[in-house]
A and B are shown apart, each in its own frame.
Chain A
Amino acid sequence: MDTRVAKKKLGLKERYAAMTRGLAWETSYQSMDEVFPYDKYEGIKIHDWDKWEDPFRLTMDAYWKYQGEKEKKLYAVIEAFAQNNGQLGVTDARYINALKLFIQGVTPLEYYAHRGFSHAGRAFRGAGASVACQMQSVDELRHYQTETHAISHYNKYFNGMHHSNHWFDRVWYLSVPKSFFEDACTGGPFEFLTSVSFSFEYVLTNLLFVPFMSGAAHNGDMSTVTFGFSAQSDESRHMTLGIECIKFMLEQDPANVPIVQRWIDKWFWRGYRLLTLVAMMQDYMLPKRVMSWKEAWEMYAEEGGGALFKDLARYGIREPAGWKDACEGKDHISHQAWATFYNYNGAAPFHTWVPRDDEQAWLAEKYPETYERHYKPRWDYWREQAAAGNRFYNMTLPMLCTTCQIPMLFTEPGDATKICYRESDWRGNRYHFCSDHCKGIFDHEPEKYVQSWLPVHQIYQGHCFKPGTDPTKEGFDPLLAVLDYYELNVGRDNFDFEGSEDQKNFAAWRGEALPAGGAK
């Protein structure tokens, strides 16, 4: 009788080695430097690529299995949500505006991240790093798809979601996230990892995903919660990879330390500026609040980030240059940002509103040092004016920061009554910035940022009108021409929430009466 011989099965470690490191080889008839032209020019020195650690030891076959199961559950929930008219179960139609911001501003970033990681994966000659980047690239593409799929249900019922990709390349405030990722993708592969894997995902992603998804749960949006959970389990892996790649660079050669530090300084600040949008979402856009931006900042940035930078001190890394200013900003940026969208709501495809009395009381409680002193008076004034039929819409284009591209809305550290102006001259031209850190980023690489596509300047250069537009024609309205170029439905996608089609429809679907004379 033949003895059955068990086929030798690879252990987890061996399997990981075979499915990742085993995929690489040394080139023979072309030099490695010609095949991999991008992983040395930034100055990062790698002596042993095998030291790259993937703590999850994730291989492609395991990836498909886990992600396939997750996707099945996700799409089951999304379908159930759609079949049960889940859009009627959210707290308030105002909440939907947070989703508009997400589909307009965050989802396209997932696609950029997919492209960036795909490129970084190709650029690294170390197989471990390359495989990790390729799998993250697939993650990011999935996120783009699942977010689009989950939010598309709302697009059937609410305005401001039908054209997010078109808007991403054109609408003024979307140039803020877009420029962040284009800056990252046009850096080298190591800078890209520092910007996205480390600064954005490791240091700041909790501030984005946790409040957004808890906000969705608190406001009855189970579809978004589900894609949030699905994405968040990948984010945890991305965060771990982010810290591992930073440690890998720092451990490989001491000459890498100052390069990485400069990137951390730059990308922490760029990421922090980008998250201004999340700050205002948390404090103003969620009808049921989860936690204030200030509380979230203290929990995730000050506590978590503080411990992280203590841990990195042994490599010679200090906290990012903008850290203290960012911590001070926790009392201000959400209020300043929401006021800006209130100003420019004529040109933004989502609705804004004055916070209601109970919401103002919440803001005063959460921001005892700043809300009533600096911000409440303008909201009260704007509400009075709106009630009198004189709702404030700012029609003149704002000055922008050349680096972060946000209107110059931030105030001086230590003085919330003064706008922070900084400027630099370079090759006979003048450039302006919202902070010392945006100025510092420009001053280090002026050649890069003199190419900034600043929406206000592009409008004035005549680049934001549809082909065939004649600005010399009698009665030409430049603002309407720009909104036409955006393909924004004027009167439906934009303007105040009070009186909007979203507000009226939602009340009608739920059989509710609209508040008389504006909400208090």
Chain B
Amino acid sequence: MSVVATRAYDFPAQDVRENFPAPLLYIGWEDHLMFCAPFCLPLPPDTPFSALATAVLPGIFGYHPDFAKIDWKAVQWFKSGKAWNPDPAKSLAENGLKHKDAIRFRTPGLEGIKGSHA
């Protein structure tokens, strides 16, 4: 369907890739709702996927007492809600991540403050 209007209705989209210094990536940590929403980050496409765990995520999720307990080998990844197996040695782009993709990770055994998923 489309907008009902008095004349042609066609305007540029605000959030296309070209408008940002780097593609946006959305990242959520399952079962940890103390962080009220997933994060939005501009990340260069050649960033190695493994850099998420070592350089990016500690700065944004590190406040949580569960963060230090994460076993990164056991982490389960999801992309657009579906199970997904990224290759940590490859870059974000080589793992198929595009502008405004949403990924999440689940850390089995860690379910937030007193198991409340917070």
Binding site for B on A (CB under 8 A): 37-38, 41-43, 188, 336, 339-340, 343-344, 373-378, 380-382, 392, 394-400, 407-409, 411, 416-419, 421, 423, 427, 429-432, 443-448, 450-454, 456-457, 460-462
Contact between chains at A432 and B35 (CB < 8 Å)? no
Asked if B54 is at the interface of the complex by the 8 Å CB criterion, the answer is no
Asked if B59 is at the interface of the complex by the 8 Å CB criterion, the answer is yes
Contact between chains at B20 and A430 (CB < 8 Å)? no
Q: List 17 A-B contacts (CB under 8 A).
A: A336-B36, A343-B36, A377-B118, A395-B60, A399-B37, A400-B37, A407-B36, A408-B38, A417-B31, A421-B28, A429-B15, A430-B99, A431-B100, A445-B1, A452-B15, A453-B14, A461-B20
- Min CB distance B45 to A, Å, is 15
Known: A37-B6, A339-B36, A399-B102. A457 touches B114 (CB 8 A): no
Known: A423-B80, A430-B101, A445-B1. A377 touches B39 (CB 8 A): no
Contact between chains at A408 and B11 (CB < 8 Å)? no
Known: A446-B2, A447-B10, A454-B14. A460 touches B20 (CB 8 A): yes
Contact between chains at B13 and A340 (CB < 8 Å)? no
| List of 3 A-B pairs having minimum Cβ-Cβ separation, nearest first | A378-B118, A450-B13, A407-B37
Contact between chains at A43 and B4 (CB < 8 Å)? yes
Q: State the interface size on chain B (CB cutoff 8 A).
A: 49
Contact between chains at A397 and B33 (CB < 8 Å)? no
Bound state CA distance, A193 and B41, in angstroms?
39
Residues of B within 8 A of A37 (CB): 6
Residues of B within 8 A of A375 (CB): 118
Residues of A within 8 A of B15 (CB): 429, 450, 452, 454, 457
- Min CB distance B19 to A, Å, is 5
Q: Mark B72-107, 1 if CB is under 8 A from A, else 0.
A: 000000001100000000000000001111101000
Residues of B within 8 A of A38 (CB): 6
Residues of A within 8 A of B10 (CB): 447
Given A344-B36, A394-B35, A447-B10: 11 more A-B contacts, CB < 8 Å: A336-B36, A392-B34, A395-B60, A399-B40, A407-B37, A409-B36, A417-B117, A421-B28, A448-B3, A450-B15, A457-B40
Partner of A399, one of B9, B20, B39, B112: B39
Known: A417-B33, A432-B26. A396 touches B41 (CB 8 A): yes
